[in-house]
Homo-oligomer: A and B are copies of this chain.
């Protein structure tokens, strides 16, 4: 109810603040018998970790995961999987000057309004560091999905106005391979170069850039999704909009749907050896909230990093008077490349949950 849990059958609960003792997650409802080790989780955390290139924050986070429970003889036992990542590189002093000056574009004022108190060090619970728990939980979900032949791949589609061209011929593992070749996680190498240039310029100007990420889930069988309020697309929208900085979620043709005619939007249904196929995929793999068997396609619009070093207008909460802040410290000039593993995790968590929910659909 306080919103730190996600999922119904496959359910994670995350905890931890940016500058507290650590961050972590408890995964409850993972079926027994799934092969799992710390390496499976560490690999995903390493993809999320900053400090890997010039374009992301230089904060050094080791992010070494420890699995504290739920495994026996290398497989899950059906009991909760608790995972812990200690915080290491936490200089909270850098944030003291921000204590009473809420940062534009950040959650600061909301926390104060809601709780009357706020851990201001590095954003506290509203820090991007909170996503460590999501990615660790998502790693377990991905393992479970792999058992059913489902793969979730994300990449950057647009950054600072530069739009990638993604050939339809690329399958999901090629997309993953191409995207991971460059620090902006864009599978179009030429666009990636332009994006990096745009980021360099923004950083020099003390500014930041927004962008678009796309997440594709391949191999999802037809039938996932509860028809009314827990539609598969509704749950994906919640999962993705709940990532900090996301301001829009699209499924399939998304915002373009509004400009299409029915005769253009509807995906014709064709006979196929194994049953049916759709000629196009404007639906993004979901109709009436239920997966159709076509790839699931989600897109998120990510706002530019709110922490910028340019002076910004705000109010001093102790005096009520206008003031300015310049946010120093280690900040990504653009979030989409680092949001990719987080968004993949959220999509994987939704799919893992609905895969288990499907089991109760028929007698």
Contact = CB atoms under 8 A, between A and B. Distances in A.
A80 to B, nearest CB: 4
Contacts of A312: 263, 266, 268
A130 B228 contact: yes
10 contacts: A15-B79, A20-B69, A33-B117, A79-B124, A208-B261, A229-B242, A237-B249, A247-B257, A260-B303, A262-B306
A interface, how many residues as a size bin? 35 or more
A248 B241 contact: no
A304 to B, nearest CB: 4
A287 B357 contact: no
A56 interface: no
Contact of A28 (B4, B306, B320): B4
Contact of A254 (B158, B247, B262): B247
Given A77-B119, A233-B242, 11 more contacts: A4-B28, A5-B229, A32-B114, A33-B362, A78-B117, A114-B290, A126-B227, A144-B363, A230-B242, A266-B308, A360-B360
A345 interface: no
A305 B265 CA distance: 9
Interface stretch (A39-47, A165-173, A189-197, A209-217): A209-217
Contact of A241 (B114, B231, B357): B231
B29 A258 contact: no
Contacts of A293: 113
B80 A207 contact: no
Interface in A303-323: 303-308, 310, 312-315, 320-322
Contacts of A24: 68, 82
